[in-house]
Amino acid sequence: MKKIVSVIGQSDSTEEQYSHAYELGRLLAQAGYAIVCGGMGGVMEAVARGAAESDGMCIGLLPGSDPESGNAYLTLAIPTGLGHVRNTLVVRAGEIVIAIGGGYGTLSEIAFALTMGKVVIGINTWSAESHASIPADVVRVGSATDAVRYIQQNLEGG
């Protein structure tokens, strides 16, 4: 069974966040990990797109009830009908969590992951606003390459 990495981030992502997420999707797929994300746009679309272009697997857990509302690059779109609460499912799904960007939705997911004792890796979380709010326990890395290297060193198998 493939190991799952959860990738979280904003739908209204910056270009830099989008390119980090796209690269992350490619590298995780190439490393043999499956990805679970929130299935919508921005960072969620980018990571699914990167995975799809490397023949990887990215499952989207959607907030609504319509599978069509997911982005076009998902391997599967699973509608939850749970709204914001689906964020907690995205985080629980992965053996490790990678966060890109620093909105409050992402912050709630990071903190939730930490309450579950999961390792959280943060990429590009250095905006003034997120710098103030991202918890100290997040493993900060500068690139998707560093994130995947960290996972391969700390998460056996994949």
Chain residues that interact with its own copies, rule: CB under 8 A: 1-2, 4, 34, 36, 57, 59, 65, 67, 70, 72, 74-85, 87-89, 92-93, 95, 103-105, 107-109, 111-112, 114-116, 129, 132-137
* Cβ-based nearer residue to its own copies, 140 or 143: 140
Q: How many helices (H) and strands (E) does the chain have?
A: 6, 7
Give the residue from 15, 24, 16 showing the smallest Cα distance to 54. 24
* Cβ-based nearer residue to its own copies, 31 or 82: 82
Q: How many CA atoms lie within 13 A of 6 on its CB side?
A: 25
Helix (H, G, I), strand (E, B) or coil at 156: coil
CB of 9 to its own copies, least distance (A): 14
CB of 29 to its own copies, least distance (A): 14
* Cβ-based nearer residue to its own copies, 4 or 7: 4
CB of 132 to its own copies, least distance (A): 5
Answer for the pair 41, 73: CB distance below 8 angstroms, yes or no: no
* Cβ-based nearer residue to its own copies, 93 or 139: 93
Answer for the pair 5, 35: CB distance below 8 angstroms, yes or no: yes
CB of 59 to its own copies, least distance (A): 7
Dist CA 109 CA 123 (whole Å):
14
